[in-house]
Amino acid sequence: MGLLCVALLALPALGQPPPVLATDYPSIQAAIDANPGRVIVIPAGEHRISEPLYLRTDGCGLRGPGVIVQADNDADIVRIERAKGVSIEGLTLTRSEEARECVAHGLFAWGCEGLTLDAVRVIDNRSARAAIRVEQCRDAVVYGCEVLNYKRLGLDDRTQNPGYGYAFRCIDGTGIHVEHCQDVRVSGNRIIERALLPTPEVVEQNRLGEVVQRNEKLGPLASGSVEREGRVTNWHQGSAIFVTGPRDTQRITIEANLIENAGQGIDIHADQVEVTGNVVTGAFIGLKAMHGSSDVRIAGNVFSRVDLWGILLSPGSASAADNPEEHLLIEGNVIADMGYGMEYWHWSTAAGDNNPIAIKLESGPLPENPPMTDVTVRHNVVTTRDPEHPRHRWALWIDPPPAGPRDVHVSGNVLGAGSLGTTRAGVGE
């Protein structure tokens, strides 16, 4: 190819404006503000900021390969607000070393339509808030992104929640958070935690689970250990992927994501959800769907080294007659090496005599929660590393009536027996 042809290929397409380089302006925000509706190219190298980058016009965006470094631990790195057709592609978002322990999001999109996050990396945004949060958005795609090291030590304050009424020390943090959204695809992402792991030493040194504040009157959802011992067992909070907004979050696809060392791998409080082809390795819950989740298909996923529940379905306290948990399909999943994760040392003694359980279908926590209905469990596989000494107690547990699930269909599963048996609730294979 001649030199002229090479030069022509390097030019923008006919009729297209040349790319906007952030380095041609005093700051990245100045480049964004001076070019509404345009995509700003962030060249290779580190670009330091001390305030969030705001994107607020239709069609605008940021494109890598640069690295944006936030120096303020109280500020989001990127905020996208009330705009259509925004795209962020190939960019790395991180924080300076002194700002890694933070109280902010990595990327927060709110009130958007047609949002695309493609190959975005959020590294060391160690916060109780999500590394990537998409809220009140429609038609959004989070594709091929990486979230690495998103958890931190902190307090879970439930003193203002009438169901609980206490606060406790915990590990917290969420990788990708989708809330009050419709038509969202979360696909091909990697959400990995390597910096803060739930070891006995970390729990002891940081007094995790200790109740530090308690209302005079505890709520109905408070566990007995709060009053007796001043402790809780669920000191590992947060999820790798969290989809919530039980009454208005709909039509969500969660597919082909890779998750390592989460508290909860995938947490769903939504309707019309497809969860397929994900791999979750190391968690105390592989996946749960609750709080009135309906029309949910959980198929072809692999959950390995999970220590409490591989898959949990529960009406949850937010379920009601007008927000039921119903029409649920658990199909073709593999739950492998139950009890060989990082928290077996804790959950094998803290979760009660009947846990851990590979697949659990339970009743709601409150009398007003209606039973879940129309549940199919078929063609799933549960394995253990040592069949002679399994670390799970049951492969499949179904709470009994009248509060337990109704219209449960179980067929064609290969359920490696737990130490107490294979199936509890008299449901035949």
240, 174 Cβ separation under 8 angstroms: yes
pLDDT band at residue 14, thresholds of 50, 70 and 90?
low
What's the distance, CA 191 to chain centroid?
9
266 in a structural domain = yes
pTM of the predicted structure, to 2 decimals: 0.95
Closest Cα to residue 422, out of 398, 401, 399, 393?
393
212 in a structural domain = yes
For residue 143, the model assigns a pLDDT of 98
Closest Cα to residue 355, out of 288, 415, 305, 424?
424
pLDDT band at residue 5, thresholds of 50, 70 and 90?
very low
87 in a structural domain = no
386 in a structural domain = yes
- Judged on CB neighbours under 10 Å (0-12, 13-18, 19+), 58 is middle
User: What's the pLDDT tens digit per position in 363-412?
Assistant: 999 999 999 999 999 999 999 999 999 999 999 999 999 999 999 999 99
pLDDT of 142 higher than 80: yes
For residue 12, the model assigns a pLDDT of 57
248 in a structural domain = yes
pLDDT band at residue 223, thresholds of 50, 70 and 90?
confident
pLDDT of 9 higher than 60: no
Distances (CA, A) of 221 to 212, 233, 312: 17, 14, 18
- Judged on CB neighbours under 10 Å (0-12, 13-18, 19+), 69 is buried
Percent of the chain's residues with pLDDT above 70: 95
For residue 72, the model assigns a pLDDT of 98
Closest Cα to residue 305, out of 338, 334, 352, 276?
338
pLDDT band at residue 17, thresholds of 50, 70 and 90?
confident
Q: Mean pLDDT over residues 321-331, rounded?
A: 98
Mean pLDDT of the chain: 95
Position 29: which residue type? Q
Number of domains in the chain: 1
Q: Mean pLDDT over residues 343-365, rounded?
A: 95
User: What's the pLDDT tens digit per position in 172-205?
Assistant: 999 999 999 999 999 999 999 999 999 999 999 9
Percent of the chain's residues with pLDDT above 90: 93
pLDDT of 426 higher than 90: no
Which two three-digit tokens encode residue 154? 């902190």
Strand, helix or coil for residue 6: helix
For residue 394, the model assigns a pLDDT of 97
Q: Are strands 394-398 and 421-424 parallel, antiparallel or unpaired?
A: parallel
Strand, helix or coil for residue 28: helix
24 in a structural domain = no
185 in a structural domain = yes
- Which residue range forms the structural domain that includes residue 262? 151-424
Beta-carbon contacts of 82 under 8 Å, excluding residues fewer than 6 positions away, are 56, 110, 111, 112
User: What's the pLDDT tens digit per position in 300-319?
Assistant: 999 999 999 999 999 999 99
